[in-house]
Amino acid sequence: MPRINSSSELEKLRQGILANRDPQKPCITLCAGSACHATGSGDVAASIEAEIEKQGLSAAVDVRKTGCHGFCERGPIIVNHPEESCYFQIKPEDAPEIVSQAVKDKKVIERLLYTDPNTNEKIIYESEIPFYKNQERLVFGSNGSIDPKSIDDYLAIGGYSGLEKALSRMAPEQILEEIKKSNLRGRGGGGFPAGRKWEESRNASGNEKYVIVNADEGDPGAYMDRSLLEGNPHSVLEGLMIGAYAIGSHKGYIYVRQEYPLAVANLAIAIKQAEEYGFLGENILGSGFDFKISVHKGAGAFVCGESSALMTALEGRAGEPRPKYIHTAVKGVWDNPSVLNNVETWANVPLIINKGADWFTQIGTEKSKGTKIFSLVGKITNTGLVEVPMGMTLRDIIYKIGGGIPRGKKFKAVQTGGPSGGCIPENLLDLEVGFDELTKAGSMMGSGGMIVMDEDTCMVDVARYFIDFLTDESCGKCVPCREGLRQMLKILTNITEGKGNEGDIALLEELSEVAKEASLCALGTSAPNPFLSTVRYFRDEYEAHINEKRCPALSCKELIAYYIDPDKCQACMICARKCPADAVDGGKKKIHIIDQEKCTKCGTCFEVCPSRFSAVQKISGEPVPSPISEEKRIITGKSKEK
């Protein structure tokens, strides 16, 4: 790969790449993101490539393994170019048909198309599918067009033109002004104006300044950053380079979770390729600007997503946060000015520099500009990653894009903001996503996790779950968080086990107040939010657990029992065979009874009982009916008499 030393050489390179690409040439793109990989996209890719070779089409058809398309529920996903027809849930056996029909004969394969569940209509083009139609995929959209392991693919779609513009036609102060004007706010959860942070570092004194990518995406249920890094790593690198130039930094760090091996691998490839072209290193594009990036892997600690803890981890120490009275933008890594921003924040920078702050501020709301990527997961029909303009309502995201709640269940709450956030009930679904709206309702937008919950979710258990998570992840340095969470977890666990007491809610509220006021870092100060928001909107559930020892959602193991209704049981033996604890007593034509002593409440019987019988029930807050007599258990004749 030649070293590119100037703007004109870059343009020549880009034109050269484009000249070698025929947009009309058949190309099969295949999503190779982690989720699709887990459903077998690797095998699908191999079988398609083998089939193409078998049919002698290797020169005529390209295969491109791209980044995540976002519609993870329906993977593996294929898009045929240039037609743009889109196929879902592909298996290796489909390869011959795909290659023959879709590429050679140019026919659409009906059975692999997306079917709209409301209209039963089959949709051919990705952009017309409701999941995609209502999104605005400015940052994430390129994932589907490029092979993340190819810098040339990135260049072909205009990559590194932002860097070129910044280095050759803008002064650092101009870049700073543009980012300030755009009102780009941090996408990692804090929502702090990036331009202000950059300016603080630029003006701070220090020999060395650092720019850092926070890729320690720890919120469980959120994987936007993972998919961006796996699918379009260069967009993040380019943003980082522009930021470094604006601030006056020559060294960048990418702190990425070691639990994301594909992201680590693709980043390493991207950095190496950028170095080969000379986009990293000395005298970039002949501008005189030097910049190097190193990747630092995390070692499994959620608290390291907190910026001061991350910086302490970069120094090779245990990731304990530091007092925030002096901003890390002024005194960060080794007490040097350090600008830390989230992956998605950095990925927005090239767009803003290329298209201008005025363009960016047209999107979104007054205080929240641009788009946000959310991971829409949980009890939702269309699970996946969605990018929408700020200001879209939760209702539109969950129903128009997400397709609502599956299996005919009723919506209960949507949890946003990860462990620092809270639950939003049905009557508030018209809230707009953005930095400030959700906070007023007791939650926050956070890094973008959006977990949908239905009538089967116990909200007390949700609070316990998050407090359990935070107790495990707390660094343990300060009392309000370490000791406060210790006690909160005990109380919440007791409540879910039917050991709750009068006064528990008041004590939890007191512990919450101290943690909010006096904790060392944002993990501690926001830790009580899951409890506070669930008790605000679902207090009746807490009271049922404490006063009646009943779990309204029929979820908390200690408070429920599984019971087979003798009137409905047809003695089919399915549950008896599947029960992992051998707790179902019965036989063919002998009505089944669950031995409550042996039952481990795993719920298997409930899942496997044929829906036409629906004989297995969950009971809570009342005793299990006594078993019927042995004679009554025998089913006589072909059908049951009542």
Q: Map the footprint of another protein across residues 442-461, applying CB under 8 A.
A: 449, 451, 453, 457
552 binds another protein (CB under 8 A): no
- Nearest-angstrom CA–CA distance, 234 and 479: 42
Q: Does 226 bind another protein (CB under 8 A)?
A: yes
d(CA 382, CA 376): 8
The encoded tokens of residue 337 equal 């000015």
What the block records as the tokens of 161 is: 């033109």
Q: State the helix-helix crossing angle for 343-355 and 172-182, rounded to 10 degrees.
A: 110
Q: How far apart are CA 577 and CA 585, in angstroms?
A: 10
φ and ψ at residue 564, rounded to 5 degrees: -95, 120
Contact range with another protein by CB under 8 A, out of 128-136, 141-149, 295-303, 343-351:
295-303
Of the candidates 267, 293, 520, 560, which one interacts with another protein according to CB under 8 A?
A: 520
The phi and psi torsions of 378 (rounded to 5 degrees) equal 100, -135
Q: Which of residues 556-595 bind another protein (CB under 8 A)?
A: 557, 578-581
Site for another protein in 461-480 (CB under 8 A): 465-466, 469, 471-480
User: Nearer to another protein by C-beta: 173 or 510?
Assistant: 510
Among 603, 617, 619, 635, binds another protein (CB under 8 A): 603
Place of tokens 């990925």: 347
Contact status: 408 vs another protein (CB under 8 A): no
Q: Using the rule CB under 8 A, is 517 a contact of another protein?
A: yes
Binders in 103-142 for another protein, by CB under 8 A: none
Least distance from another protein to the Cβ atom of residue 131, Å: 12
Site membership for another protein, residue 316 (CB under 8 A):
yes
- When asked if residue 426 is in the footprint of another protein (CB under 8 A), the reply is no
Stretch that binds another protein, among 4-12, 134-142, 212-220, 340-348 (CB under 8 A): 212-220
Q: Binding to another protein by residue 296, rule CB under 8 A?
A: yes
CA atoms of 160 and 412, how far apart (whole Å) = 45
**What are φ and ψ of residue 78, in 5° steps?**
-130, 140
Binding mask 258-277 for another protein (x = CB under 8 A): xxx-----------------
DSSP result, 282-320: SSGGGSS--BEEEEEE--S-GGGGSHHHHHHHHTTS---
Would you say 113 or 514 has its CB closer to another protein? 514
Residue with tokens 């029992």: 561
Site for another protein in 326-345 (CB under 8 A): 326
- Stretch of 122-130, 244-252, 269-277, 314-322 contacting another protein, by CB under 8 A: 314-322
Among 137, 197, 251, 379, binds another protein (CB under 8 A): 379
Cβ-based nearer residue to another protein, 273 or 308: 308
Question: Would you count residue 315 as binding another protein (CB under 8 A)?
Answer: yes
Which CB, 362 or 501, lies closer to another protein?
501
User: Could you say which of 607, 610, 614, 628 contacts another protein (CB under 8 A)?
Assistant: 607
* Cα distance between the two ends of the chain: 81
The Cα angle at residue 506 between residues 500 and 510, in degrees rounded to 5: 125
Which residues make Cβ contacts (< 8 Å) with residue 179, sequence separation at least 6? 194, 195, 198, 246, 349, 352, 357
**Going residue by residue from 52 to 81, which x/- string records binding to another protein, judged by CB under 8 A?**
--------------------xx-x------
Q: Cα(107)–Cα(103) distance, rounded to whole angstroms?
A: 8
218 sits near another protein (criterion: CB under 8 A) = yes
When asked if residue 208 is in the footprint of another protein (CB under 8 A), the reply is: no
Q: Which of 143, 214, 328, 383 binds another protein (CB under 8 A)?
A: 383
Exposed e or buried b for every residue in 55-66, given b needs 16+ CB within 10 A?
eeeeeebbbbbb
